[in-house]
Amino acid sequence: MAKLSIRDLDLTDKRVLIRVDFNVPLKDGIITDDTRIRETLPTIEYALRHKAKVILCSHLGRPKGKPVASMSLRPLVDHLRTRLDHILGDDENVAFSPDCIGIVASEMALNLESGQPLLLENLRFHAEEEANDPVFAQKLASLCDIYVNDAFGSAHRAHASTEGVTHFVKQSAAGLLMEKELTYLGKALTEPDKPFVAIIGGAKVSDKIQVIDNLLEKADAIIIGGGMAYTFLNAQGQSTGMSLVEPDKIDVAKAALEKAKAKGVRFLLPIDHVLADKFAPNAKTQVFSGAGPFPQDLMALDIGSKSIALFEEEIAEARTIIWNGPMGVFEMPAFARGTNEIAAAVARNHDATTIVGGGDSVAAIQQSGFANRITHISTGGGASLEFLEGKTLPGVAALTENQRFK
Ligand SMILES: Nc1ncnc2c1ncn2[C@@H]1O[C@H](COP(=O)(O)OP(=O)(O)O)[C@@H](O)[C@H]1O
Ligand SMILES: O=C(OP(=O)(O)O)[C@H](O)COP(=O)(O)O
Ligand SMILES: [Mg+2]
């Protein structure tokens, strides 16, 4: 890699700001899947063992620039302490600053002992984080001597903590997880074995629909499920009741459908759906198959059996599979079947290189019990898609060049 690595740096007694992606799924303050935390532990442990003063920063959810209690990172402190038990002494703790900038954060960072960790509160409690505000970025930079980015899952964002901060520190290096993800995804997709099938679902429609245009240049088939599907069905003229739709993106969906046709890329959309009368685990449900309009007051929260069978056929033939975004609201048992069956189908294909990425997709694949049958589990959803479509990730581009590779 042409970028500086944490392994190239002398960390001893330095204040090292590590941007991590601790955007983990939470339910009532409990972490339901801690893959993103576990995956970044090698970097944290490396820094602690090398006697750095480790300052961890992350976002959690989308609080839109204001403190939101349910999106506090505080519940992660105990979890992190447990995960670092083998490296911290009995009386050593993970310190927590209730604001990521300001006097308290500055003093805590300054007073940190070598080999000790400090976690900062959610970066996105400040609107300046997502706006990539230079003053805010400079305040973050003032907490540290060295900056390390290990947040692969957020590397497609040009935010203050992933991009802006690098302009105000002398050295910006990649963490071990960042390196691992880039190496692995880079290798797997230089010349993917064909057929190459991309499965896209989830709820971040406006973010991820743009990626499909570029994936159409590489993939032999694209399978769309989850919340992503209904904007496409609307683009085909089907009204979908209360289902998740992004009206602004219907034109993008139409263009993708036309491009797929012109290029001969198979484009699979769900043909039946589990409809619910509300977004809740105890919703009344019914299966809807047919091309006509959905009942107006119902919403699709999972794909149905016929869609599963259709998708399974394509998955069985694939030799490279990338999957981001669950097929339904898998967090609720009534709507988890589509995601679980597709996970099983991907796991059954022993001839394919399989990559599953995304904070929620990883939680889903863990929940399905098939995680150990996937070739590579990536901590990034949007990030892995943008990397795979060939885009330069701003969080990577901003890191210091390694002079050895020049
Ligand atoms: N039909 C649907 N309607 C609404 N939300 C959905 C639907 N299908 C899936 N989702 C939601 O999508 C979310 C994950 O989306 P996203 O963040 O894009 O994926 P990832 O984190 O894997 O990258 C899940 O919380 C899931 O409940
Ligand atoms: O969870 C994330 O991405 P993902 O849902 O695509 O896996 C990242 O933490 C980025 O979050 P964001 O999409 O709110 O910038
Ligand atoms: Mg997500």
Q: Check residue 187 and give its pLDDT.
A: 87
Q: In what order do the strands lie in the sheet with 53-57?
A: 95-97, 117-120, 53-57, 15-19, 146-149, 171-174
Read off the pLDDT of residues 17-26 as tens digits, 9 standing for 90 and up: 999 999 999 9
Task: Indicate which residue's Cα is closest to atom 26 of ligand 1.
Answer: 329
Number of residues assigned to the chain? 406
Q: Label residue 400 left, alpha or beta by phi (over 0 means left) and psi (-120 to 50 means alpha).
A: beta
Contact (Cβ atoms closer than 8 angstroms) between residue 105 and residue 97:
yes
Residues lying with their CB under 5 A of ligand 3, a single-atom ion: 359-360
Q: Which of 14, 15, 36, 139 is catalytic?
A: 36
CA–centroid distance, residue 26 to ligand 1 (Å): 14
382 is an active site residue:
yes
* pLDDT reported for residue 266: 98
Cα distances (angstroms) measured from residue 269 to each of 128, 201, 216, 292, 369: 38, 10, 15, 15, 25
How many whole angstroms from 362 Cα to the centroid of ligand 3? Answer: 9
360 pocket-lining for ligand 1 (C-beta < 6 Å)? yes
- Domains with residue ranges and CATH for the chain: 6-182 (3.40.50.1260), 189-388 (3.40.50.1260)
ipTM for the predicted complex:
0.99
Average of per-residue pLDDT values in the chain: 96
| Low-confidence residues in the chain, pLDDT < 50 | none
* Residue 328 falls in the annotated catalytic set: no
Report CA(177)–ligand 1 centroid distance (Å): 24
Query: Is 319 tagged catalytic?
Result: no
Instruction: Determine whether the shortest distance from the Cβ of 21 to ligand 2 is under 6 A.
Output: yes
